[in-house]
Amino acid sequence: MRNTARLIFQVLRVFLLFAACTIMFYYGIIWVSQEYENYRRYDEPEGTAVKVIQQHESDEESDWLSRLLFFYSNGE
């Protein structure tokens, strides 16, 4: 009888620890989500930002081929 009560107590303790950690993780994810919800990553950059690549309006057939060859040759 004592062993059964001790086993039930240990199982209950592990369950409560798991539930507490799960709740803390859940609220942590919500906190991080709210932090980055209003993050404006598509705003125009400020300062001395430089545009890195210019894409030309060209034939789509040759465009994907030239991009693929550029990727294979440079790895970028």
Render pLDDT for 20-55 as a digit per residue (tens, 0 to 9): 999 999 999 999 998 888 777 777 777 887 777 666
- Name the average pLDDT for the chain: 83
pTM of the model: 0.49
- Output the CA torsion 60→62→64→66 (10° steps): -150
Where along the chain do its domains lie? Answer: 1-38
5-33 mean pLDDT: 96
Assigned token pair, 6: 């001790």
Query: With contact defined as beta carbons under 8 Å apart, do 48 and 54 qualify?
Result: no
Write down the pLDDT at residue 76.
60
Q: What is the pLDDT of residue 57?
A: 59
pLDDT, residue 13, reads: 97
